[in-house]
Amino acid sequence: MVGIAVVQPMRRGEREVAVAEAPELRHVIWYKDRGLRKLYGLAIALFFASATTGYDGSMLNGLQILPVWQDYFKHPTGSILGLFGSIYSIGSLAGLPFAPYLCDLYGRRIAIMAGCLFLFLGVAIQSASQNFSMFIAGRFFVGFGNSMASNSAPLLLTELCHPQHRGRVTTVYNQLWDIGSIAATWITFGTFTIKNNWSWRIPSIFQAFPTFILFSCIWFIPESPRWLISRDRHAEALTTLAKYHSNGDETDLTVQFEFREIRETLRLEFESKKSSSFLDFIRTKGNRYRLLLVVALGLFSQWSGNGLTSYYFALVMKSIGITDHNEQFEINGSKTIVSLIVGLIAAAVVDKVGRRPLFICATSGMFVCFVLWTACSSLYDLDHNLAAGKTVIFFIFLHGVFYNIAWSGLLVGYTVEIMPYKLRAKGLMLMNFFVQAALVFNQYINPIGLAHLNPRWRFYSIYCGWLLLEVIFVYIFFIETRGVTLEEVAKIFDGEDAEVPHVDVDDVHEKNQQVEVHQVESVQQRVEKV
């Protein structure tokens, strides 16, 4: 029987040891390297899995503003409106268990393809809906398919990245949520003038567009070298690493180090246990710590007040006296653009500033903004103070800025970084499970709370208390993963028990020189024979 011990905050010294042992490899500027330009050019398609998720949240916001949609579905409120929002997340929860098994058994690419096909089915049903039940069924399949694709795409992206670019690339991945959100906001704004059902069917159809790009490009994206090695396809893995990380040079020092560290790490992991299970998350101190962080990442990412503005922005605007549909669209659209800009700036500095400082800054800022948001909302409720109502808009914007400093971009990247290979797919699935579980709760409870807990500042005050707990937790438990390879991160969590081999860079360099000498001698011998 495995006992669950109390998880203690990670000692900072364990990270310093891991960083000290990490090798100094050749610095590479991606846009000056042909192989990396090609790799990241292809990898852009993987970002669209995140864009689809962002599209859904803003699309539902936009549909609620459309009079035709409201009339067609009989002006849903309370629990009915909550079901409209939460059914996507319920579908996502249903699809999550399939993702890690498809990823580990058949590869990351196959799992992405399967998710895309289910999403296409859902969009077709949703767009052709004739009644409430059909629309709900379509959204269920959209959530089911996108959960499989969005659970697999960041794994493939992270495992293909050059070690020096992993933080920036994976942070940009989740920022595409905002691209999808912006697209949905302005597409629904554009169809607002259409006075028939195409005003909501067109945005529904466009939900398939990001996934269409992903599905069209996935055939050309290489498979994960780590997955290839896990299936004993070592030659293919080395070829992939060399093609994209060193322009085909298999003797390159960085490529040889990556290949040997991945190979030996997977060998140690599989020697200790050939297959992994979810019970592994409670079997060691390091894995229990990872599990704690995964649960926190999933819940905090959705219970920080962002759910109010992502899915029920129209209700929040009405609560402060903004009822004009055009004004609601403009505010929502501007907010998503600002969020994207902030997120991209955060992605550019993540490897310089680090993950932990960004998380602390973002969470603390959200707490302060929400307290002031609640205070101004209470002033508006007391005497309909218009200045207080306008100030709420400012703090909604600022809250979104702080959220995007860390929680939007780092959510997936940080989760993937802290997991060892054999638990990576399952860890990301667990994080997404808690994201979707939190969303189901949020999307169902938020409209009920906004409708029945009056004045509304009382409902907002619940978030204030929760955000304070988030700030304390992040400060105590979140650790830094900057500056080390995926394999070296394991040493931060597991210390001396980490299943990571010591790969000597000097030894790799010496062996590469021996190979080069042997190749030269072979050529000379062939020349002499001629």
Among candidates 428, 25, 483, 501, which has minimal Cα distance to 266? 501
pLDDT in tens, 84-114: 878 888 898 899 889 888 998 999 999 999 9
pLDDT of 185 reads: 82
Among candidates 57, 50, 51, which has minimal Cα distance to 439? 57
Among candidates 277, 264, 211, 265, which has minimal Cα distance to 55? 211
pLDDT of 9 reads: 56
pLDDT of 86 reads: 80
Domain ranges of the chain: 30-223+284-499
User: What is the mean pLDDT of the segment spanning 332-339?
Assistant: 80
Cβ(336)–Cβ(468) below 8 Å: no
Of 103-107, 286-290, 295-299, 516-520, the range with the lowest mean pLDDT is: 516-520
More confident residue, 115 or 485: 115
Q: Examine the pLDDT at 209 and tell me if it is beyond 80.
A: yes
According to CATH, what is the number of the domain 30-223+284-499?
1.20.1250.20
Q: Examine the pLDDT at 17 and tell me if it is beyond 60.
A: no
Cis peptide before 23 (omega within 30 of 0): no
**CA 424/CA 439 separation, integer angstroms:** 22
pTM: 0.73
Task: Measure Cα distances from 133 to 19, 128, 140, 396 in Å.
Answer: 54, 12, 11, 33
436 φ, ψ to 5°?
Answer: -70, -35
338 band by pLDDT with thresholds 50, 70 and 90: confident
pLDDT in tens, 433-480: 898 888 878 777 777 776 776 767 788 888 899 999 999 999 999 998
Q: Examine the pLDDT at 6 and tell me if it is beyond 60.
A: no
503 band by pLDDT with thresholds 50, 70 and 90: low
Among candidates 117, 121, 122, which has minimal Cα distance to 135? 122
pLDDT in tens, 22-51: 456 667 777 788 888 999 999 899 999 989
More confident residue, 180 or 1: 180
State the Cα torsion 116-120-121-126 to the nearest 10°: 130
Among candidates 412, 368, 375, 373, which has minimal Cα distance to 393? 373
Classify residue 2 as left (phi > 0), alpha (psi -120 to 50) or beta.
beta
Q: Examine the pLDDT at 363 and tell me if it is beyond 90.
A: yes
Signed CA dihedral, 251, 253, 254, 260: sign only: positive
Q: Which residues contact 508 (CB under 8 A, 6 or more apart)?
A: 253, 256, 257, 260
300 band by pLDDT with thresholds 50, 70 and 90: very high
**CA 441/CA 476 separation, integer angstroms:** 26
pLDDT of 518 reads: 45
